[in-house]
């Protein structure tokens, strides 16, 4: 570990803290329909959208109407992406002559992008036409992220309002998040990335004659525009197969730093928006602090792990000073790779700048645990916040049990229905992660796709379903997804998204309808260190108890075997 | 049913947002980027004597002793002799891929052992001088297209390159020193050397 490595991590955290308040204020203005400077320019277009769609922006939805709108939109997105991928050979903007995407792969990819997972069973530069990249994938990068922000806003309204029947209008939230948050930021980011060397062209490839006289075909495309939303929307689906490790997606240390900030930006901003909307910014900072604590633990372990060279390789006489460089890029080294891997799995981004499969066992375990905790460490845009609120509800419930009082969060009574909904959302994730893994490691089509043997093979399977259910999308990419994996992972992504969204909206609806109780001396405060500690503990215990046996079978055993010098 | 009432807004908003974010945005950005920054937008290609030599951002495969070598690459490509087969094609910039080797896989250990042996055979002077085998020269990069190596990896090869080109070692050493890209502000990023730029500089030195 080096001073410059720690300086990078410290600088990153300082930037995130500095961004949180201004972003939170801006997000609140946009989503609450208050005045902000972009509304002057884009407002008329926004209103044209509503008129054409027959949406009255002032008419708000109950939680069930809101959920129906989300589901209707998602079904449509899924069908459109599937159709575009199946038909891409007949459609324009296909300079390299890509053929139609196979049905199981098209299903998996459509589910993956609709759920903001962006798991990639395909390799971008050899599968997707430019039209598919833009009209199918880039669109989903925007709208799945915007939908996440919209749902977070609806959930926050549930806590902020009192005795209300409605939690907002999904169409308005969706359009505003796209218009005033994602799109303008992406225009600026695209130009920045292009200046730094990320290509943005409609050409399919360039031909080069190398110094040694070999032919080299260099894949190109409209990369920068997709890169911007891929990071900001915590989507993570790369233009190229190797994602942000590809020098065209992430050419240098500065673009790498900016990409990491983009991943956390909206998730961090939403914690502040939460605080502002419930009337006390400290409530937002409490959430932010718990998230930051979990982030720091993760990045420290991962950096420590990767700064060590693989003992099986140093035994061959290789110099250990660079650390574990298998599957990492020279321009990033171990520090920026460890930080990126933590950030991308804390938030459910899933972009990678190093191959997680080649991390040392304990290093690879950190991304895995980050996802198992439910993607609540800043999390996917929107999804992180509403996922965290579920854990906050459990935390106040436990605190209530301890002192024998009806639990309250932000003055709202937490009752049996809310706890049931919370548990439904919290339990469906481990069910997919562990249940599907258990099946995959005993059936033949499951096993045949694994590239590694020994405990690492088990981790490969566990990582895949964890990533799918958590809607992350990063992978131990040695796995070559066949139709069994495409089908089950697609299902896992769907459960991971919608079995959280619907219960969480139901909670929002129930909360909105409740009155707010005035705080008394007996009220458990949710903006101090005790609460931060309690909720962090709940997150770790729920994750730890559920997943520890599986982790012991995978990365922990592999680590011990590696120290003994065994290879598989 | 509630879901049917949402179909019109769902369809309309989906179509409008698709046009905006899937066509207007990427095509508009393509136009703007091509106008303002054509070199980068086109892939940072290097042209020399009318021919495209490569992209400054994309590594190339170097195997002759007179050039600095990049990192091992895990990329594959179709066999020119039999298109149905795939073979190792290092630095295939049309299909990026990492090795995804498990840290405890026997295949990784064997591959690195072979790379160490080859490196020692190619650079006997460096080994005799007691230089350590740099980690990045025996491990594959994440993209398979890594354009860079660590300064140590470049210094390790200086004796071999100088000898093959009949240049004084100090001159080649100085060239590497000149081309080391330091971390931004002294802390952001790792010091590295772009192999293609280094080799092109070497070619001009030779003349």
Q: pLDDT tens digit string along A263-272? A: 999 999 999 9
Among A491, A261, A290, smallest CA distance to A384 is for A290
pLDDT at A538: 94
pLDDT at B2: 59
Which tens digit of pLDDT belongs to each residue from A354-412? 999 999 999 999 999 999 998 999 999 999 999 999 999 999 999 999 888 889 999 99
Among A169, A202, A232, smallest CA distance to A96 is for A202
Mean per-residue pLDDT of chain A: 94
Residue A229 has pLDDT above 60, yes or no: yes
Interface contact A194-B40, CB threshold 8 A: yes
Show which of residues 62-101 on chain B sit within 8 Å of chain A, judged by CB atoms: 62-64, 67, 71, 91-101
Q: CB distance from A186 to chain B under 8 Å? A: yes
Domain count within chain B: 1
Residue A192 has pLDDT above 70, yes or no: yes
Q: Which helix (H) or strand (E) holds A285?
A: helix A281-306
Over range A108-112, report the average pLDDT. Answer: 95
Distance CA A88, CA A93 (A): 9
pLDDT at A138: 93
Cα angle B175-B178-B182, degrees, rounded to a multiple of 5: 140
pLDDT at A404: 87
The CA dihedral of A414, A169, A273, A523, to the nearest 10 degrees, is: -20
The three-class DSSP label of residue B184 is strand
Whether the CA torsion A534, A539, A542, A547 is positive or negative: it is negative
Whether the CA torsion B177, B179, B185, B189 is positive or negative: it is negative
Q: CB distance from A57 to chain B under 8 Å? A: no
Assess if residue B7 is contained within a domain.
Answer: no
Sorting pLDDT into bands at 50, 70 and 90, what band is B206? low
Class of residue A268 by CB neighbours under 10 A (exposed 0-12, middle 13-18, buried 19+):
buried
Over range A26-31, report the average pLDDT. Answer: 96
Interface contact A452-B25, CB threshold 8 A: no
Over range A146-165, report the average pLDDT. Answer: 95
Nearest residue, CB atoms, B105 vs list A11, A199, A568: A568
pLDDT at A519: 85
Assess if residue B159 is contained within a domain.
Answer: yes
Q: Which residues in chain B have their CB less than 8 angstroms from residue A4's CB?
A: 183, 186-188
Sorting pLDDT into bands at 50, 70 and 90, what band is B1? low
Distance CA A316, CA A320 (A): 11
Distance CA A226, CA A92 (A): 19
Contact of A361 with A559, CB cutoff 8 Å = yes
Q: Which residues in chain B have their CB less than 8 angstroms from residue A454's CB?
A: 102, 104
Which tens digit of pLDDT belongs to each residue from B5-43? 788 999 999 999 999 999 999 999 999 999 999 999 999
Contact of A505 with A123, CB cutoff 8 Å = no
Mean per-residue pLDDT of chain B: 94
Distance CA A197, CA A192 (A): 9
Sorting pLDDT into bands at 50, 70 and 90, what band is B81? confident
Sorting pLDDT into bands at 50, 70 and 90, what band is A544? confident
Interface contact B188-A8, CB threshold 8 A: yes
Q: Report the first-to-last Cα separation within chain B, whole angstroms.
A: 79
Share of chain A above pLDDT 70, in %: 100
Among A45, A42, A216, A228, smallest CA distance to A134 is for A228
Which tens digit of pLDDT belongs to each residue from A29-43? 999 999 888 888 889
Query: In Å, how far from its chain's centre is CA A302?
Result: 18
Residue A127 has pLDDT above 60, yes or no: yes
Q: CB distance from B111 to chain A under 8 Å? A: no
DSSP state of A280: -
Nearest residue, CB atoms, A138 vs list B16, B26, B183: B26
Assess if residue B145 is contained within a domain.
Answer: yes
Interface contact B53-A210, CB threshold 8 A: yes
pLDDT at B207: 56
Residue A543 has pLDDT above 80, yes or no: no
pLDDT at A328: 98
pLDDT at B3: 62
Contact of A350 with A274, CB cutoff 8 Å = no
Nearest residue, CB atoms, B98 vs list A245, A247, A558: A245
Which tens digit of pLDDT belongs to each residue from A300-341? 999 999 999 999 999 999 999 999 999 999 999 999 999 999
Q: CB distance from A358 to chain B under 8 Å? A: yes
Give the DSSP per-residue string, A461-499.
Answer: HHHHHHHHHTT-----TT----HHHHHHHHHHHHHHHHH
Structural domain including B111 reads 51-205
Sorting pLDDT into bands at 50, 70 and 90, what band is B79? confident
Residue of B nearest to A257 (CA): B188
Residue A243 has pLDDT above 70, yes or no: yes
Among A480, A444, A551, A5, smallest CA distance to A241 is for A480
Q: What's the gap in Å between the CA of A492 and the closest CA on chain B?
A: 23
Contact of B23 with A181, CB cutoff 8 Å = no
Assess if residue B153 is contained within a domain.
Answer: yes
Q: What's the gap in Å between the CA of B168 and the closest CA on chain A?
A: 22
Q: What's the gap in Å between the CA of A162 and the closest CA on chain B?
A: 25
pLDDT at A405: 86
Nearest residue, CB atoms, B138 vs list A126, A186, A318: A318
Over range A435-446, report the average pLDDT. Answer: 95
Assess if residue B33 is contained within a domain.
Answer: no
Assess if residue B16 is contained within a domain.
Answer: no
- ipTM (interface predicted TM): 0.96
Assess if residue B12 is contained within a domain.
Answer: no
Sorting pLDDT into bands at 50, 70 and 90, what band is A285? very high
Sorting pLDDT into bands at 50, 70 and 90, what band is B205? confident
Which tens digit of pLDDT belongs to each residue from B157-181? 999 999 999 999 999 999 999 999 9
Sorting pLDDT into bands at 50, 70 and 90, what band is A1? confident
Strands (E), A192-283: 205-209, 215-219
Residue B197 has pLDDT above 90, yes or no: yes
Contact of B75 with B58, CB cutoff 8 Å = no
Q: What's the gap in Å between the CA of B154 and the closest CA on chain A?
A: 12
């Amino acid at each position: 570990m080096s001073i410059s490595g720690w300086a990078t991590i410290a600088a990153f955290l300082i930037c995130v803290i500095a961004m949180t308040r201004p972003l939170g204020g801006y997000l609140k203005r946009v989503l609450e329909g208050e005045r902000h400077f972009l509304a002057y320019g884009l407002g008329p277009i926004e209103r044209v959208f509503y008129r054409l769609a027959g949406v009255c922006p002032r008419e708000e939805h109950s939680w069930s109407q809101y959920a129906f709108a989300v589901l209707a939109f998602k079904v449509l997105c899924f069908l459109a992406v599937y159709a575009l991928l199946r038909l891409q050979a007949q459609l324009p903007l296909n300079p390299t002559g890509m053929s139609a995407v196979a049905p199981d792969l098209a299903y998996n990819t459509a589910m993956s992008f609709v759920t903001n997972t962006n798991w990639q069973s395909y390799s971008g530069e050899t599968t997707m036409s430019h039209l598919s990249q833009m009209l199918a994938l880039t669109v989903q990068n925007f709208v799945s992220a915007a939908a996440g922000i919209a749902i977070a806003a609806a959930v926050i309204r549930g806590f902020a309002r009192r005795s209300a029947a409605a939690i907002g209008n999904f169409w308005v939230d969706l359009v505003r998040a796209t218009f005033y948050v994602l799109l303008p930021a992406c225009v600026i980011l695209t130009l920045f990335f292009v200046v730094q060397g990320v290509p943005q062209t409609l050409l399919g490839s360039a031909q080069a004659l190398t110094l040694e006289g070999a032919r080299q075909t260099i894949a190109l495309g409209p990369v920068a525009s997709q890169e911007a939303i891929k990071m900001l929307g915590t989507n993570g689906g790369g233009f190229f197969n190797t994602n942000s490790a590809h020098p065209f997606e992430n050419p240098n240390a500065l673009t790498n730093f900016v990409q990491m900030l983009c991943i956390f930006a909206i998730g961090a901003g939403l914690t502040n928006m939460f605080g502002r909307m419930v009337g006390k910014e400290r409530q937002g900072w409490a959430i932010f602090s718990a998230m930051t604590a979990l982030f720091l633990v993760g990045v420290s372990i991962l950096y420590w792990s990767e700064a060590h060279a693989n003992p099986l390789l140093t035994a061959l006489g290789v110099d250990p000073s660079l650390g574990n460089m298998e599957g990492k890029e020279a321009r990033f080294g171990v520090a920026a790779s460890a930080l990126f891997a933590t950030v991308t799995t804390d938030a459910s981004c899933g972009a990678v700048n190093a191959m997680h499969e080649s991390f040392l066992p304990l290093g690879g375990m950190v991304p895995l645990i980050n996802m198992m905790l439910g993607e609540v460490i800043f999390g996917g845009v929107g999804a992180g916040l509403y996922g965290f609120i579920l854990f906050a509800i459990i935390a106040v419930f436990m605190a209530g049990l301890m002192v024998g009082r009806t639990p309250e969060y932000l003055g709202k009574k937490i009752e049996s229905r809310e706890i049931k909904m919370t548990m439904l959302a919290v339990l469906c994730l481990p069910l997919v992660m562990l249940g599907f893994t258990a099946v995959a490691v005993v059936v033949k089509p499951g096993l045949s796709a694994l590239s590694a043997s020994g405990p690492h093979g088990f981790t490969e399977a566990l990582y895949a379903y964890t990533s799918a259910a958590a809607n992350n999308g990063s992978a131990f990419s040695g796995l070559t997804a066949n139709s069994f994996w495409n089908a089950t992972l697609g299902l896992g992504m769907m459960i991971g998204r919608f079995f959280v969204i619907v219960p969480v909206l139901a909670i929002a609806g129930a909360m909105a309808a409740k009155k707010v109780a005035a705080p008394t001396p007996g009220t458990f405060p949710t903006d101090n260190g005790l609460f931060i500690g309690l909720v962090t503990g709940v997150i770790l215990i729920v994750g730890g108890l559920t997943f520890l046996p599986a982790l012991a079978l995978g990365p922990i055993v592999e680590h011990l075997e590696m120290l003994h010098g065994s290879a598989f | 049913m509630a879901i049917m009432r949402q179909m019109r807004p769902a369809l309309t908003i989906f179509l409008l947002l698709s046009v905006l974010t899937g066509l207007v945005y990427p095509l508009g950005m393509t136009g703007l980027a091509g106008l303002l920054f054509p070199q980068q937008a086109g892939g940072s290609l290097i042209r020399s004597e009318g021919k495209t030599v490569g992209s400054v951002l994309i590594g190339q495969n170097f195997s002759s002793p007179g050039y600095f070598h990049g990192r091992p690459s895990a990329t594959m490509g179709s066999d020119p002799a039999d298109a149905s087969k795939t073979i190792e094609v290092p630095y295939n910039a049309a299909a990026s891929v990492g090795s995804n080797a498990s840290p405890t896989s026997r295949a990784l250990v064997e591959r690195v052992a072979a790379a160490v042996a080859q490196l020692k055979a190619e650079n006997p002077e460096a080994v005799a001088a007691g230089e350590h085998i740099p980690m990045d020269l025996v491990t594959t990069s994440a993209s398979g297209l890594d354009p860079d190596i660590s300064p140590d990896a470049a210094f390790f090869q200086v004796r071999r390159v100088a000898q093959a080109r009949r240049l004084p070692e100090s001159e080649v050493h100085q060239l590497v020193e000149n081309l080391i890209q330091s971390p931004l502000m002294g802390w952001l990023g790792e010091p590295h050397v772009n192999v293609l730029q280094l080799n092109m500089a070497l070619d001009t030195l030779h003349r």
